Structure 1
Amino acid sequence: MERPRPAVICLSGGMDSTSLLVRMLAERRKVFGLCFDYGQKHRIELKRLYDNIEYLRENDIEMSCETIEIPKLGDLFHSALTDSNWQVPKGHYEQENMRQTVVPNRNAIFASIAYGYALSIAIQHDTHVDFCLGVHSGDHAIYPDCRPEFYQSIFHAFSIGNWDNEKVHLHIPYINGDKYTILQEAAVSIEKLGLDFDTIFRNTCTSYQPDASGRSHGLTGSDVERILAFHKFDRRDPIDYVDSWEVVVEKALELEAQYRAESEENDD
């Protein structure tokens, strides 16, 4: 049986890319990870990522991961995620104020670096490589650089700008899914690998503005989306919140209901 193609994955330390990571490992792929220190305020996500990598190694699962350090972007780019004086907005993920969390051209920069890495591996080892991203449908409303047409276009540009482009394949398996379906699939992959679900997801960070202890307050859009996914999955999120799980779920449901009501009012 032919071994699956190696995978180059952009890893953030969040639940989406972590779920993609365990999926690729469950498929017995050789994984080459890239993570980015771009001056984000929630840099604890990188620590969580490496905690998970260490957990994988303790369970005899090997992978490589390189950190690309470009923290100057945090000073150059206008975003609530990188400006220490700019409070990350609270509310539902699809509300207009969540545009403040866009980092201009971030995914194009990350994708360009990852594509070059994938192509280099492909040429060096004379093999085909999958260039993998954990973007999903929940990202589409606020982040134009997470939409299918963006990745189709930018991947086309990468292909026409490089020799041996036939060796690299775009792989975005969650593009039409959401955080709930991602959790469902991740649970299957984690079980297949013989790992602990809570440990894997405890070693992630989705919040854009965790407190000094790394706890999520549960009120930013990324928090709410994650909480609602775990609630729908009927499982307690293992990360630490500033409030109890019951309280953060209640607040997330309230924010979702408020957003839906406002959307219906605007439609009328």
Structure 2
Amino acid sequence: MSVADDKKAVVLLSGGLDSATILALARKEGFQCHALSFDYGQRHKGELKAAAAVAAAGGAHEHRVATLGVGFIGGSALTDLGLSVPQAPTTGIPVTYVPARNTVFLAVALGWAEVLGAHDLFIGVNAVDYSGYPDCRPEYLAAFETLANLATKAGVEGGRFHIRAPLLHLTKAEIIRAGLGLGVDYGLTLSCYAPNDAGQACGACDACRLRAKGFAEAGVPDPAIAI
């Protein structure tokens, strides 16, 4: 695939199926993809290994892991080992919500994009089959895009940043079908919030349930699950 030298994008890459799909979509659009993952004190660090595999298989120009010590603030079952990851559906915003996570991630990605001369930031948020996190909504993304263009040298000098969320209004099944059409290997991905020491998904957390629902509705088996 031909990629223009000046067509660069920063792609937030968690190692899950959504971020693997947006990497493929960004590549399809001809972007030189600079993939960015975060070690933020999450209990499911296996996603970083998955992210590296996805970046390599997906043709990322480079893949970097930023270490952010935000786990100390607690408040989330993903960073506080004193809180349990729910194994059944809950009401309201679940305890797996990490305070301001996407805002922090996008801020770091924005800084890197400005240095790279990239104007597009891809994030795999979804407002259809998701856990109800407030930083996955279209109005949040619009607000951050406005901030990005107000708060940066590139923005005030006439550049224009775009927060790209191509999966925002898709179901998990639609996301999976789109990724398969682009050759995404979902066997490399990890979505689970509480995998075991061998990196195997628990199958019961919210992320696992949404993933299973998506593959079932797409009518294809999940290649990450050993038969």
Task: Return the match for 1:28 from 27, 30, 38.
Answer: 30
SS in 2 for 1:100: coil
Name the TM-score, length of structure 1 as normaliser.
0.77
**Distance (whole Å) between structure 2 residues aligned to residue 214 and residue 2 of structure 1:** 34
Matched, 1:164 2:154: yes
SS in 2 for 1:68: strand
In the alignment, structure 1 segments of 5+ residues that lack a partner are 123-127, 191-196, 245-268
Name the TM-score, length of structure 2 as normaliser.
0.90
**Distance (whole Å) between structure 2 residues aligned to residue 91 and residue 98 of structure 1:** 14
What is the root-mean-square deviation in Å for CA atoms of aligned residues?
2.1
Task: Return the match for 1:237 from 211, 222, 226.
Answer: 222
Give yes or no for contact 2:7–2:30 (8 Å, CA) kept in 1. no
Matched, 1:111 2:106: yes
Matched, 1:96 2:91: yes
Q: Which has the higher helix share?
A: 1
Aligned-pair CA distance for 1:47: 0.4
Aligned-pair CA distance for 1:240: 3.3
Deviations 1:228-268 (A, max 9, x none): 10011111111137xx6xxxxxxxxxxxxxxxxxxxxxxxx
In the alignment, structure 2 segments of 5+ residues that lack a partner are none
SS in 2 for 1:176: coil
Letter in 1 for 2:173: Y
Name the structure 2 match of 1:228: 213
SS in 2 for 1:91: coil
Task: Return the match for 1:47 from 49, 70, 91.
Answer: 49
**Structure 1 residues 217 and 235, CA gap change in structure 2 (3 angstroms):** same
What percent of counterpart residues are identical? 27
Matched, 1:84 2:81: yes
Name the structure 2 match of 1:203: 188
Of the two, which has the highest radius of gyration? 1
Give yes or no for contact 2:126–2:170 (8 Å, CA) kept in 1. yes
Aligned-pair CA distance for 1:28: 2.7
**Distance (whole Å) between structure 1 residues aligned to residue 62 and residue 225 of structure 2:** 27
**Structure 1 residues 208 and 138, CA gap change in structure 2 (3 angstroms):** farther
Letter in 2 for 1:182: I
**Distance (whole Å) between structure 2 residues aligned to residue 22 and residue 13 of structure 1:** 13
